[in-house]
Amino acid sequence: MSTKETMQSYFNGLNQEKGWESFLGDNMVFTSFVSPIKQVTGKAAYIESTRRFFSMVVSVEVRDLIIEGEKACVLSRYGLRPPKGDAFHCDVAEIFTVKNGMIESLAIYFDTSPFLL
């Protein structure tokens, strides 16, 4: 599976709320470049550390996708509905490394201010 196919399948899975986890490598490295920077290693650790975020996701839109070999840059917009408060959108820059159809690393950059309201 190519990097593009992996990205398309991963984001389709996010939108359908099923199957997206199957594209995560067992030893993937996830880095969130918000303050403070957070890094976790391993599929299980990633899923656990993002459980709260993914529980709020109601939609995902891939706005731009740039691929170069095993690297992918995705500019995405997540529609989020927190347990309390109004729904909102969060624009995210996501940098992936894909090998053999599996996501080996993911780094994200986004504005945290909507989460503080």
pLDDT (0 to 100) of residue 113:
61
Q: Beta strands 88-99 and 102-110: pairing type?
A: antiparallel
Q: What is the pLDDT of residue 26?
A: 97
pTM: 0.90
Reported as a single tens digit per residue, the pLDDT across 59-112 is 999 999 999 999 999 999 999 998 888 888 999 999 999 999 999 999 999 876
- Which residue segments constitute the domains of the chain, with CATH numbers given? 3-111 (3.10.450.50)
pLDDT at position 114, please? 61
How far is 21 from 28, CA to CA, in rounded Å? Answer: 11
Compute the mean pLDDT over every residue in the chain, rounded to the nearest whole number.
Answer: 92
pLDDT above 90: residue 44 = yes
Strand order in the sheet with 57-68: 38-41, 24-32, 102-110, 88-99, 71-80, 57-68
With the C-alpha atoms ordered 38, 60, 87, 113, is the resulting torsion angle positive or negative? positive
- Please answer whether residues 53 and 81 qualify as being in contact, where contact means their C-beta atoms are separated by less than 8 angstroms: no
Residue 115 has pLDDT above 80, yes or no: no
Please, where are the H alpha helices in 21-107?
A: 43-56
With a cut of 60, say whether residue 117 has pLDDT above it: no
